[in-house]
Chain A
Amino acid sequence: MIRPSTRTATSPETSIAVVTGASVGLGRALALEFSRRGVTVVGFGRNLADLETTASMAPGARIVPMQVDVGDADAVALAFQEIRETVGDPTILINNAAVHPRRDFLDETPHEFMACLAVNLGGAVNCTHAALKSMVRAGRGRIVNVGSFADLAPLPGAGAYSVSKGATRIFSRALVADLGDRFPDIVVTTWMPGILATRMGLPTGSIPPWPHDGAWSSRYRTSGNSTARCSIATFRCSSRAP
């Protein structure tokens, strides 16, 4: 039975979004778009200078840079503790941080392969686990895992990345299996933005924010009944999905 949600609806002014990988590319674009709409943003990244550049691109808005390696579970837990103490309880988490090493599987070591998973999949696991602490307490929250079509058709030399993105998509579904019926106002989404003209993407890709400006933010506001709005596809899994 689907009950009308009264708690998912949220205003930008009371929202706190943690965007991982906010120093460049899609993460930077997301952070700027959130802040443009009045959402307080905490940007995670490994390069503080790049994060500060992101923050400086939104003068007057609140983007808090935090140098965090998302692959480090303890560092992530500490960072979220600091966010809760100094900024507030995160209501939105965008698991965007990823590395995309191009290596022939014959040339890379198993350690290198797994190190990629530790950032891409491990980062999502670490941040989600930390963010859920207060989301479960509040009974609401929004988690978006940035996916990729690489998991459906892996490119040569992108095995670790493809595996990590496929696993991230399954991670979203596993979260819904664990939380969906118990906490229907904690909405988990896998978002597949398509090929972007970012450092990680291809020059022929779209330029962030994304193909259809505004699609993202309207989706997060009406999370209860969102439909595929992105130009290519949005894969969504939530107990509240119609």
Chain B
Amino acid sequence: MPLMNADIIRRQWDVIVIGAGIGGGSMGRRLAERGLSVLFVEKGPFGHDTEEQYLSTTLEDPFARKIRGFWPKRVAATIDGREMSFFGAIGAGVGGTSSFYAATLERPERHDIDELEDRPHPTGGWPVSYDAYRPYYGLAEQMFEVCGEADPLSEEPDPGLRSPPPLAADDRDMTESFRRKGLNPYYVHMGVRFVPGCQLCFGHKCPRRCKLDGRTAGVEPAVRTGQAFVLDNCDVQAIRGTRDRVSHIEVIRHGERATLKARTYVLAGGGLGSPRLLLASKSPEWPNGFGNSNDLVGRNLMFHLTEMLAIWPASGSRSSGPSKALALRDFYFRNGMRFGALQAIGVDASYGMIVHYLNGLYDRSIFRRIRAGRELTRIPAFIAARMFGNAKIFAGIIEDLPYSENRMLLDPEDPERLRFHYSFAPELHHRRRQYRRIVKKALSGHRTAFLNMQPDLNLAHSCGTLRFGNDPATSVLDANCRVHGVRNLYVTDSSFMPTSTGINPSLTIAANAIRVADHIVALHKQRAPELIDG
């Protein structure tokens, strides 16, 4: 890829996609396969397809981080009034955060999207219904080659996924003992091909084109069509235009400045990155940032709470190694409260994993400034590794709800830095306590232990910061994920989600991106008037 190819700059693209993660990748692939010309503009590197690094939250050097596809700078945050900075599990490179994800690709529940009589929706429901999304979930499952079993509790039609590999003996035992407790485990839905020698690349890049992510299922197939190109290591400085349309974007690549033009622009820089770019795109027409008429850009920031839970096998069966096969939705919605799925996370309770996890907690604790103390996490980790032995580690998702005061902010010192403000709502603390009680009780008979004392925000699941809706007074995007009042700017990462749902956001991001892509394709095919520019 040349540094700054004159043809790329001169050309007017059908669509420029900012951000080549799961939202941008799925969008770009769908557009390219349907004949539109696409330029991916990606902050991070294209990278090499045999890389297998973990997403480090400790590597400090921004240069080294960038080469590895990690978000280069620390995230600054005020959490419950405490100022802190840390490296979140956020990617910046082709594939985005999804290059490092565990490939869980599951549909949400109907109540995650629709207002139901017995399950009122926190926002009154998304502007697009669960049934309207269904075909796009199917398309996304095809695109990401999702395998898994239907959730036995679901009343929805069987999604008809590819067959997963057989369960390992210890997972079969655990399935049986869960069932005896009246629970309903199923094979988690995953975008993994299970090629021979599959190492279950969860948390790190997959070197064998086995894991389907924003890169392997999105950007690479898009490029193979001949319709799409990638401009990597390219920072978008600002989105420019008038009140009703984007005219160009300003970028900087290897110190060189340029402007890029397209008929349609898609912002897919992530739940934190996208609102940051809009807030940073100030101009006389947009004094508070592009698209930010009502001071809604960046607000309603949500994460999931992750409850890490060790579950020992009831029968004393030996672990046959890490697997992330089992998932349950028995606790997804209980006692009128929204929680989420419980999933095996694919790592054993090994010493290294526990150190890694405790260090993450330490970095966000009140001790975080005492560097030496971090080493002490090795002692509890050692004890834990001995104690946990055969335990399988599960992660329970607890849905976060939208609060206007939880928001992305423009960092006054460094507009490139991701900065957010978040306070735990009292009701979230309450739901968390209820969740732990309900899960413990339901699993009685198994030895179980929750591993995190403090609530743990999952930074990889940030969302909600540019919510879509029918009313411009309460939402940033319209039902087609187009910025209200702006003819040619769309957003297709997790920012669009009005609520965080009880499940990993990846499949929803991909399904929504495909839906919006089809809308954009239809406009281009009709030569719609909003595309004609000067």
Contacts and interface: CB of A to CB of B under 8 A. Distances in A.
Contacts of A6: 197, 199
Contacts of B352: 1-2
A139 B199 contact: no
B197 A182 contact: no
Given A181-B68, A182-B68, A139 B50 contact: yes
Contacts of B425: none
A1 B346 CA distance: 13
Contacts of B48: 136-137, 182-183
A55 to B, nearest CB: 33
Contact of A139 (B56, B207, B353, B356): B207
A233 interface: no
A202 B346 CA distance: 55
B192 to A, nearest CB: 16
A139 B53 CA distance: 12
B50 A137 contact: yes
B54 interface: yes
Contacts of A184: 52
Given A136-B48, A139-B207, A181-B68, A3 B53 contact: no
B51 A3 contact: no
B205 to A, nearest CB: 8
A138 interface: yes
A1 B50 contact: no
B353 A183 contact: no
A183 B205 CA distance: 10
A166 to B, nearest CB: 24
B51 A1 contact: no
B53 A138 contact: no
A172 to B, nearest CB: 18
Nearest to B203: A1
A162 B197 CA distance: 44
Interface in B42-67: 48, 50-54, 56
A6 B51 CA distance: 15
A184 to B, nearest CB: 6
Interface string A163-195: 000000000000000000111100000000000
Contacts of A137: 48, 50
A88 to B, nearest CB: 18
B393 to A, nearest CB: 14
Interface in A126-141: 136-139
Given A1-B352, A1-B353, A139-B207, A181 B53 contact: yes
A233 to B, nearest CB: 28
Contacts of B353: 1
A136 B50 contact: yes
A183 B52 contact: yes
Interface string A38-78: 00000000000000000000000000000000000000000
B44 to A, nearest CB: 13
Q: Which of A1, A2, A7, A136 has the most CB of B within 10 A?
A: A1
A9 to B, nearest CB: 11
B156 to A, nearest CB: 37
B51 A182 contact: yes
A79 B261 CA distance: 43
Interface of A: 1-4, 6-7, 136-139, 181-184
26 contacts: A1-B54, A1-B350, A1-B352, A1-B356, A2-B352, A3-B199, A4-B199, A6-B197, A6-B199, A7-B197, A136-B48, A136-B50, A137-B48, A137-B50, A138-B50, A139-B50, A139-B52, A181-B53, A181-B54, A181-B56, A182-B48, A182-B52, A182-B53, A182-B68, A183-B48, A183-B52
Given A7-B197, A136-B50, A183-B52, 17 more contacts: A1-B352, A1-B356, A2-B352, A6-B199, A137-B48, A137-B50, A139-B50, A139-B52, A181-B56, A181-B68, A182-B51, A182-B52, A182-B68, A183-B48, A183-B50, A183-B51, A184-B52
